[in-house]
Amino acid sequence: MRLVFAGTPAAAVPTLRRLAAEHDIAAVVTRPDAPLGRKRVLTPSPVAQAAHELGLPVIPAARLDEEATARISLLEPELGVIVAYGGLVREPLLSIPTAGWINLHFSLLPRWRGAAPVQRALMAGDARIGASVFQLVPALDAGDVFAMREVEVPADATAATALDILAVDGAALTAEVVSGIADGTARSVAQEGEVTVAPKLTLDDGALDWTAPRHRVFARYRGVTPEPGAHTTIDGQRLKIIEAALGTDGTDAPVLGPGEVAATKTSLLIGTADAPLVVTRVQPAGKGAMNAVDWWRGQRGAEGMRFGA
């Protein structure tokens, strides 16, 4: 098929590469170069970089406005494919491709419609996560579903790890749907089940509540890592939690109140509402990531400090 592909982050790259190997990509739409790093160097999106490597024409667009719509219309695409582009497809662009647009979404729709489905699923402690390919409609992530696949991820996977896994599985799922649309065998069905939404994460979403049970604290850590990042306060200063784990079942751990700290040779044990959470790497404000125990030993009056205070 003659396709237009829209996407921006690394999670969209496997789908672009898979489709480019099997179909005619007329153009790749992605967000414009953005300033990254401390020096704020303008850097192409991961999708733009992949498109250049594949020799595909790129349409940089901060949003799918009249100009972008006009450029896409001239290409006369048969199908539009969108994966985490970062903007909405509205009419008349929605109807320009002969077969409309399909969207690869990293959730088991209708659960977690919105911008951060993987992160919200992990934060909620969902036992099942996956990917869906659906027909794009004006309402947010509400179109009929062509295919859905549950994907296994490690029980301790962060959002970054889960997205990497879903991106690969989702690419295969999308390729199957595009091939089905091309040969006329694809069929879609209406979404069924309870609708939940997954709004974009804010810095506040990364705050850990040590008064919650350990599994809930760990679930939030997983969902907000690496962005916006799990964090707490100690002695009035923000501290980012870079690496954490559930550890043992807590039967051999010291009894700690919420936010209380105990150091071992390799990690810090942080009290929650029940068992302690294991923290191995942290990042103090204005500094780089470091071993949690080394950081703790460098704190004056550490014995009286409590996380979240």
pTM: 0.93
What's the confidence (pLDDT) of residue 222? 98
How many CB atoms neighbour CB 254 within 10 A? 11
Angle, helices 214-224/159-183, rounded to nearest 10 degrees: 60
What's the confidence (pLDDT) of residue 38? 73
pLDDT digits (tens, 9 = 90+) for 196-243: 999 999 999 999 999 999 999 999 999 999 999 999 999 889 999 999
The answer to whether residues 94 and 5 touch, using CB atoms and an 8 Å cutoff, is no
Q: In this model, does residue 139 exceed pLDDT 70?
A: yes
At residue 255 the predicted structure's pLDDT band, cuts being 50, 70 and 90, is confident
Instruction: Tell me how far apart the alpha carbons of residues 190 and 275 are, in angstroms, rounded to a whole number.
Output: 43
Instruction: Catalogue all structural domains in the chain, each as residue range(s) with its CATH number.
Output: 2-183 (3.40.50.170), 203-304 (3.10.25.10)
Q: Name the average pLDDT for the chain.
A: 94
Structure tokens, 197: 């939404």
At residue 309 the predicted structure's pLDDT band, cuts being 50, 70 and 90, is low
Enumerate the H helices of 126-158 as residue ranges.
none
Pairing of strands 277-284, 290-291: antiparallel
